[in-house]
Amino acid sequence: MAGMTISKLAKMKANGDKIASITAYDATFSRLFAACGMDFMLVGDSLGNTIQGEQSTLPVTTEDVAYHTRAVRKGAPEAFVVADMPFMSYATPEQAYQEAAKLMRAGANMVKLEGGDWLLETIGGLVERGVPVCAHLGLLPQSVNVLGGYKVQGREQSAAESTVRQALALQQAGAQLLVLECVPIELGKLITQKLSIPTIGIGAGADCDGQILVMHDMLGLNSNYLPKFVKNFLTETGDIASAVELYVKEVKAGTFPGAEHSFE
């Protein structure tokens, strides 16, 4: 993944080449992911669950994400690294600028924010100030208490239409990448067709321009609950590097996710 950039990711969409990505939290794994051909990595606030043992992503701070971003950057100097802005770290545009700066200084190439319409001004301001933005629609884990649980989003016609409209608005505001989490296959496909920026799905069907998984999930390290969209790539490979390579291969071939990992 030498020298991956946002323009190369955009070109991949234009060429119909699928984008493979994964969460990363430390230097050892980021080095391995880069060597396995991962197109980009996300220092997700899922580190609240996977690293810190919390019940949600809400306790995570910008300092936590910056700490892990530094480690991921050291393991993969050439990688394209996206860092999550944590819960309530971008409540106002001004706060978002200050917090995003910490993540960019830690080595991120782009920051990710959860939400739609209310973020348009913030996204425009970040991009003008030199901070590339990945948007995130569908299931928003930072809003789990508002949503009343981790549920598939955009099933009703009105919710689906609203998500499409907000995806276009986020792109218009300057977002250069969009994560779609837990939406029906048809909605993932429609948004991917309508947008010129790449869509990265997690539980959003195989028609998205790329896929992302939490590394612990795809290595089967999630002891209790495995979401439907997750596949354990370690069982059929037996070692971590082969599991990661198989994931990349299946994303590139369009064979992961299958219907059994997606929502109708």
Residues that bind ligand KIV (CB under 6 A): 23, 42, 44-46, 84, 179, 181, 202, 212, 214
* Alpha-carbon 211 to chain mean position: 8
64 annotated as ligand-binding = no
Q: How far is the CB of 179 from ligand KIV (least distance, A)?
A: 5
User: Given candidates 39, 45, 181, 207, which one binds Na ion under the rule CB under 5 A?
Assistant: 45
| CB-based contact 131:93 (threshold 8 Å) | no
Choose the one of Na ion, ligand KIV, none that binds residue 214, judging by a C-beta under 5 to 8 angstroms depending on kind: ligand KIV
Q: Footprint of Na ion on residues 68-107 (CB under 5 A)? A: 84
Please name the helix (run of DSSP H) or strand (run of DSSP E) that holds residue 82, with its range, or none.
Answer: strand 81-84
Marked catalytic residue, from 54, 99, 121, 181 = 181
Phi first, then psi: give them for residue 173, nearest 5 degrees: -75, -20
SS3 content of the chain, % helix, strand, coil (to 5): 45, 15, 40
Q: How far is the CB of 138 from ligand KIV (least distance, A)?
A: 10
CB burial of residue 148 (10 Å; 0-12, 13-18, 19+): exposed
Cβ-closest position to ligand KIV? 44
- Cα 92 to Cα 95, 125, 142, distances in angstroms: 5, 11, 16
Q: Which residues are catalytic?
A: 181
Q: Binding site: what residues are annotated?
A: 45-46, 84, 112, 114
Q: Binding site for 3-methyl-2-oxobutanoate: what residues are annotated?
A: 45-46, 84, 112
Site of interaction with Na ion (CB under 5 A): 44-45, 84
